[in-house]
Amino acid sequence: MRSLSLLLLLAVSSAAYSQTSQKNHPEPAKMTPAMTEFWDPQPAVVDPGTACSAPSDAIVLFDGKDLSLWMAEDGSPALWSVHDGVMTVVKGSAGNIRTKAEFGSCQLHLEWMTPVGIEGEGQSRGNSGVFLQGLYEVQILDSYDNETYVNGMVGSIYKQKAPLVNPMRKPGEWNSYDIIYTAPVFKEDGTYLYEPRVTVLMNGVLVQNNTAIRGTTEYIGHPRVIAHGDGPLVLQSHGDPSAPISFRNIWIRNL
């Protein structure tokens, strides 16, 4: 009986305290639209350019005139040909070319074309690629009516992730890549804290959607995780016997 009385007393006291504390609290402030608006800092104003020109804050890596911002992978001058506002792979000893500057997270735009009359099939038909930070390849291949393994076709993250669709234009027509790349972050032991990620639009069509890259894009074997900092943009001279690929309008924005 005594315990029951004590419990009743505590319940009454608690209710009284609750009522008193509620009476002493002010009413919550009424929300207004301005409470969730912020004005500063204002984003920088960027001229978006036209379909054939870069945004005003971009680094133009190839403007159709020369290869002054490029070199061979061994540091010697880039030997691809420049003609009529485009640069074209030179098969054989010219090899891959890379940017002199190095980059991390970025937005990249480039346009490329396989020529009319291209021959070959599978990987031996218009094969090239763009390597982000020199390590992670977004595949370039003539995949117009040309089947190959899907994680090696146009728009793939080479040997890792097939594209969502195949929006390839026929030979003789220009294709475009718009790539949003987030560079990896590494732990002290050299493993990924955050994997590199990439979104790719080909000819305005989404082909990679925030895709995680598992490591280097190897021709033979599994991806390797190699700790690194900023790296160059590399364009591949694959060495297949088909007619060479041409590039134009290449620009990059640091993110």
pLDDT in tens, 37-64: 788 888 888 788 787 789 999 999 999 9
The reply to whether 125 falls in a domain is yes
Q: Kindly indicate the confidence band of residue 242, based on its pLDDT and cuts at 50, 70 and 90.
A: low
Asked whether residue 10 is domain-assigned, the answer is no
Which residue would you say has higher pLDDT here, 8 or 129?
129
Range of lowest pLDDT (27-31, 79-83, 130-134, 186-190): 27-31
Helix (H, G, I), strand (E, B) or coil at 123: helix
| Higher-confidence position of 240 and 173 | 173
Place of tokens 């004005």: 39
Whole-prediction pTM value? Answer: 0.85
| Confidence label for 14 from pLDDT (cuts 50, 70 and 90) | low
- Look at the chain and report how many structural domains it folds into: 1
Residue 9 forms part of a structural domain: no
56-115 pLDDT, tens digit each: 999 999 999 999 999 999 999 999 999 999 999 987 767 899 999 999 999 999 999 999
The rounded radius of gyration (Å) of the Cα atoms in the chain is: 28
Region of 141 on the Ramachandran plot (φ > 0 left; ψ -120 to 50 alpha; else beta):
beta
| Rounded Cα–Cα distance for residues 26 and 28 (Å) | 6
Judge whether 44 lies within some domain.
no
CA dist 159 and 64 (Å) reads: 31
Which range of residues forms the domain containing residue 105?
59-254
Cα 191 to Cα 70, 133, 194, 215, distances in angstroms: 30, 17, 9, 10
Q: Which residues contact 33 (CB under 8 A, 6 or more apart)?
A: none
What is the model's pLDDT at position 238? 77
Q: Is residue 186 in a domain?
A: yes
Nearest Cα residue to 173 out of 144, 152, 153: 144
- The rounded mean pLDDT for the chain is 89
Please check whether residue 11 lies inside any domain of the structure.
Answer: no
> What per-residue confidence (pLDDT) applies to 243?
66
Q: Give the CATH number, domain containing residue 79.
A: 2.60.120.560
173 within domain boundaries: yes
User: What are the CA-CA distances from residue 132 to residues 124, 182, 243 (Å)?
Assistant: 22, 10, 24
pLDDT score, position 38:
83
Whether 45 maps to a domain, the answer reads: no
